[in-house]
Amino acid sequence: MNILVIEPKYFDVKYSINPHMLDKKGNLNTVDTSLAFKQWEEVCTIYKKLNLNIYHFEPLAGCPDMVFCANTFLAFSKDGKLQAILSNMHSHFRTPELAPTKNWLLSQGFEVHETPDEFKLEGTGDGIWNYEANELFLGHGHRTNIGVVSFLNNYIDNIIPLELPDPRFYHLDTCFAVLNKNTAVYIEEAFTTDGIRTLKRKFNDLIRIDLKEGIKNFAGNLFCPDQKNVIIQAGATNLKSELAKRNFIIHEVETSEFIKSGGSVFCMKNHFL
């Protein structure tokens, strides 16, 4: 597995584009930037320990969310060729992230397809692969819009749309993660009745995350790169014990500073096979 990370050099909470970015009084959260850097390095250390291939490129000044590089593209391969759909961000604050991302993708030999202006797509924040089943789950409603399916269908055959009705779960990766072809975790409150039915049909072992662990610990934002190791924000006790029962190897990390911006492990990287 190949991992792209972007260091949190300019990371901060400078605007609010999701409900997690504000404190109880409605003010922008305050980030401890040196702590954020340490937390980010710890996450990278785990990727190194797991022998994943790590890539990075320089962030752009004035782009405080660029560390969340999951959102700027969706990678896949077709006919043995690396491909990426470049996102079209919902918020104008994040649009400047796209040009350097496109340059990097091209420099790595990706064939890049740009999301047309009339659609919104936020990369693997909303597009989550079940690689073994060759299916893409696509969250929509807040950032990504459902119309984009007609564009994605030019490249990707099996797309399973999942509507996200709750603004706290504004990206699919805040409430759903695939561990292997039969196992996934989800926050039931984040989905519609139809969505829940779809997920139950797709996964024999669908593990429900407590709402509390889903919000406080961002537990739904875990990342499993290899059907075995799970990297997850520390403190999600119930989910941890469910995963341990199934013999997953758990790596807990602290991402408190990034949660203040509405992200954790899964969105602090992008990935491709």
Binding site for ligand ARG (CB under 6 A): 17-18, 21, 65, 68, 70-71, 94, 125, 171, 173-174, 261-263, 267
Residue pair 101/121 in contact (Cβ under 8 Å)? The answer is no
* Paired tokens of 265: 């492990």
| Smallest distance from ligand ARG to CB 81, Å | 26
| Smallest distance from ligand ARG to CB 207, Å | 19
* Paired tokens of 229: 């190791």
Nearer to ligand ARG, 142 or 251 (CB): 142
| Smallest distance from ligand ARG to CB 167, Å | 11
| Smallest distance from ligand ARG to CB 244, Å | 25
Q: Where are the extended beta strands (E) located within 30-186?
A: 53-56, 73-78, 81-86, 111-114, 127-130, 135-140, 159-163, 176-180, 183-186
Nearer to ligand ARG, 27 or 241 (CB): 27
* 159-163 β-sheet, strand order: 127-130, 135-140, 159-163
| Residue in 254, 271, 268 with CA at minimum distance from that of residue 68 | 268
| Smallest distance from ligand ARG to CB 41, Å | 19
For residues 60 and 204, what is the distance between their CA atoms, to the nearest angstrom?
Answer: 43
| Smallest distance from ligand ARG to CB 18, Å | 4
Nearer to ligand ARG, 147 or 167 (CB): 167
Nearer to ligand ARG, 141 or 262 (CB): 262
Nearer to ligand ARG, 119 or 182 (CB): 119
Give 209-221 as a DSSP string: PPHHHHHHS-GGG
Nearer to ligand ARG, 60 or 182 (CB): 60
Strands 135-140 and 127-130: antiparallel
